[in-house]
Amino acid sequence: MNNNFSENLKKIRKDNNLSQEQLAEELGVSRQAISKWESAVAYPEMDKIIALCDKFNLNIDDLLHKDIREVKGEEESKKNLNKYIDDFLKFITDTINLFSNMNFKSKIKCLFEQTIIICVLLTLALIIYGVGNHIVSSLLGFLPMEVYRIIGSMLECIYLVFIIIVAIIIWVHIFKTRYLDYYDKLKRDVMDNKDNIYNQKEEKSEEIIQDTNHENKILFKKNENKIIIRDPKHSEYRFINGLSKLVVGVIKFFALCFSLLLCAILIGLFCLFAMSFLITKTGIFFIGVLGAIISSGIVDIVLILIIFNFVFNRKNDKKKMIWSFIVSLIVFGISCGIIFVGSLKFDIIEDNKDMLITKTEEFDMNKDLFFNPYQSDVIDYVESDISNVKIEYKINKYCELESTDYYKNGVHVWGYCPNPTKLIREFISSINDNKIITIDDEIKEITVYASKENIEIMKSNIKKFEEKQKQYENSLNEYEKEISHYQEQLDKDSNKFEEYENKIYELEEKIRILESQYDNE
Each residue's pLDDT tens digit, 491-500:
666 666 667 7
Q: In the predicted model, what is the mean pLDDT of residues 356-372?
A: 79
Taking the C-alpha atoms of residue 206 and residue 428, their distance in angstroms, rounded to an integer, is: 66
Q: Judge whether 189 and 218 are in contact, CB under 8 Å.
A: yes
Average pLDDT, whole number, for the chain? 76
pLDDT at 48 > cutoff 70: yes
Which residue from 308, 88, 284, 101 is spatially nearest to 184, judged by alpha carbons?
Answer: 101
pLDDT digits (tens, 9 = 90+) for 128-177: 888 887 787 777 766 776 777 777 778 888 888 888 888 888 888 888 87
What average pLDDT does the segment 424-430 reach? 81
Share of the chain above pLDDT 90, in %: 9
pLDDT score of 70: 63
Tens of pLDDT, residue by residue over 235-282, are 444 545 555 677 677 788 888 889 999 999 999 999 999 988 888 888
Q: What pLDDT does 329 receive?
A: 92
Q: What is the 3-state secondary structure (H, E, C) of 387-443?
A: CCEEEEEEEECCCEEEEECCCCCCEEEEEECCCHHHHHHHHHHHHHCCEEECCCCCC
Paired sense of beta strands 206-210 and 217-221, if any: antiparallel
Closest among 394, 366, 368 to 380, alpha carbons compared = 394
Nearest residue to 118 via CA among 170, 185, 190: 170
Amino acid at 318: K
Integer Cα distance of 244 and 179 in angstroms: 18
Measured between alpha carbons, how far is 151 from 145 in angstroms, rounded to an integer?
10
With a threshold of 0.75, does the pTM exceed it? no
Say what the pLDDT of residue 423 is: 76
How many Å apart are CA 375 and CA 396, to the nearest integer? 13
User: Long-range contacts made by residues 300-304, C-beta under 8 angstroms, separation at least 24?
Assistant: 300/262, 300/265, 300/266, 300/269, 301/266, 302/328, 303/259, 303/262, 304/259, 304/262, 304/263, 304/266
